[in-house]
Amino acid sequence: MNAELAKIKLLLLDVDGVMTDGRIIYDNDGGETKAFDVKDGHGLKLVQRAGIQVGIITGRQSAIVTRRAAELGIELVYQGVKDKRLPFSEILEKLSLAPEEVAYVGDDIVDLPVMRQVGFAATVADAMDEVKLHADMVTKRSGGRGAVREICDFLLKESGRWPSVTLHYFED
């Protein structure tokens, strides 16, 4: 068991490029489409069952993100953020957490100011090279393609929480 990862009480995520593949598709009527991986969603539910809260900090504003967060029971949702340090500080104060009790997943340089403060920083396989240099973990999978699930499973297994949240899947 990794004692540092056992301290994690909150997992914060960027959206575009982390929870999605980073593409934004517009239709002729002005609608916007994003694709989310269902395995990522299940990984986030497992993390929540283990007692780790989940939050989103993203630079864009999107009704699709609001809907996905609601489906996953994510209440900490900050959209349209230019400087991610501001909501990060607000969240720490609101939840009475220290930075080392937070894991953050980002993929671009806008995520670096928060990634450099947290107890565990992760990024996706197709992240910017500069971001990979500051990450404790770089996934094998790309953003929107199971990378979040990979991080969730890693956190649960390395912190010793995996057996308690998955046992019922393996029982007869």
Model confidence at 145, in pLDDT bands (50, 70, 90)? very high
The whole-number pLDDT of residue 35 equals: 94
- Helices 38-49 and 162-170 pack at an angle, to 10 degrees, of 120
Model confidence at 129, in pLDDT bands (50, 70, 90)? very high
* Strand ranges, E, within the chain: 10-13, 25-26, 32-33, 53-57, 76-78, 102-105, 120-123, 137-138
Q: Is 56 helix (H, G, I), strand (E, B) or coil?
A: strand
- The total number of structural domains in the chain stands at 1
Domain containing 150: what range?
A: 3-170
Give residue-wise pLDDT tens across range 72-122.
Answer: 999 999 999 999 999 999 999 999 999 999 999 999 999 999 999 999 999
Give residue-wise pLDDT tens across range 21-53.
Answer: 999 999 999 888 999 999 999 999 999 999 999
What's the CATH code of the domain at 89? 3.40.50.1000
Q: What are phi and psi of 137, to 5 degrees?
A: -145, 135
* 21 bridge partner residues: none
Q: What's the whole-model pTM score? A: 0.96
Sign for the pseudo-dihedral over CA of 100, 102, 107, 109: negative
The whole-number pLDDT of residue 171 equals: 81
pLDDT above 70 as % of the chain: 100
User: Cβ–Cβ contacts within 10 Å for residue 47, how many?
Assistant: 25
